[in-house]
Amino acid sequence: MATEIFEQDVFVFLDKPSDKDEHDKLLDTLSDLGGTVARSINKKTTIAICNDNSLTSEIEKAEKLDIPVVKKEFITESITQSKRLDPKDYLLKNDKKRKDMDGDDTASGATTNGDTKDDAESALKKAKVDTYKAFEPGCVWCGTLMDLEAGESHPMFVRILKFDEKSLTLEGETEWPTLENSKSKFRATIKDGVLTLDDYEPIDNDVLEPTVYVLKIVTNATNGKVTLDGKTEDEKCTVKLMMSKKEKIVHLPFLTVGKECDGQLVQDFAMSLKVTGRKTEKMLEGTIDWTSFSTKTKFKGTVDGNTVKFTEYEVISGDGVDLPVEYNGQLQSSTSPDSLITGDYKLESGIAGKFTLEKA
């Protein structure tokens, strides 16, 4: 369970719960997280929860006491992210102020009258560029999937590994902590302010089934934060996601200290490459075991984007190999996850050939 993220809060629920059992569970969770729930609005109330705009009298009463009236989503998202989020991002009245990523110019303060037309187009273009930053490699989205038939909710994480801004296509992984920590690969496209995400292949197990999500990209006009709001293609589940953090992407992540790659030269000489050092992102060193010769050698090299170059330069034990040998390999982008390198090798004597390395 997360820390007591609501220890300073006194909640009051303005609208009646549609599901009493679910509401009782939520109250228990709030208590576990340090929160207090009051029966009615008072001076100690810090947050009012309401999803119904029609409860004007109760809403006005809260606003007179400067109590923020937020949607229930504020609680569920805070629980999902294990931290108290900003209530201002979930204000009930903010719904009317939101705009789509492909929305009108007035939402960003631009107009299209007279000489300001160019400024409006520039502002809209900048807004879209800012939005795309939330889809750059390393961005991690988190949120909740609600299964409407089963009445269950599951935290969902979307990790973006590749983004082509020209074609507006993405690749990455989804993670499901409550479904046996399952992971799957996805590919997605952005068109007309909608992200269509195809969760097409499980990585770790077969718990997940291929699923397509249709998610509207929504930008909050007040703070500029971007959310994804939509449902599965079969409309059996709803999804709400927001960008939570950006991680550093390491090229060729399987070539890190302790990782091993099994490979083979085209001439069928079996080799086992092991990385023993990666002092910087671009520097690489390790050993190669030649099982056919009972020989072990050292190598040093570099990683540059999807290209890896290394030189086999010293025999540690055994014999039967001529050194040095230069290797020039390229990550095969058609593989997913990225785990296959193919390329050329060349000896000083002029002998050359092909090699492959695949994640063990």
The residues pairing with 49 across neighbouring beta strands, listed in sequence order, are 13, 70
Q: What is the mean pLDDT of the chain?
A: 83
Q: Tens of pLDDT along 309-322? A: 999 999 999 887 88
Q: Tens of pLDDT along 329-350? A: 998 865 555 678 999 999 888 7
Residue type, 329: G
pLDDT of residue 312: 96
pLDDT of residue 157: 94
pLDDT of residue 285: 96
Q: Where are the beta strands (DSSP E) in 247-324?
A: 260-265, 270-277, 283-290, 295-304, 307-317
Q: Is the peptide bond before 324 cis (omega within 30 degrees of 0)?
A: yes
Domains in the chain with CATH codes: 10-96 (3.40.50.10190), 105-246 (2.40.128), 260-359 (2.40.128.30)
pLDDT of residue 240: 93
pLDDT of residue 149: 86
List the Cα angle 356/359/360 in 5-degree steps.
110
Q: Is the dihedral of CA 150, 153, 159, 160 positive or negative?
A: positive
pLDDT of residue 325: 95
The residues pairing with 310 across neighbouring beta strands, listed in sequence order, are 301, 327
Q: Which run of H or E residues covers position 21? A: helix 20-32
pLDDT of residue 269: 80
pLDDT of residue 344: 92
pLDDT beneath 50: ranges in the chain:
1, 96-112, 114, 116-117, 119-120, 122-127, 129
Determine if the pTM surpasses 0.85.
no
pLDDT of residue 2: 52
Q: Which two tokens stand for residue 52?
A: 């119904």
Q: Which run of H or E residues covers position 132? A: helix 117-132
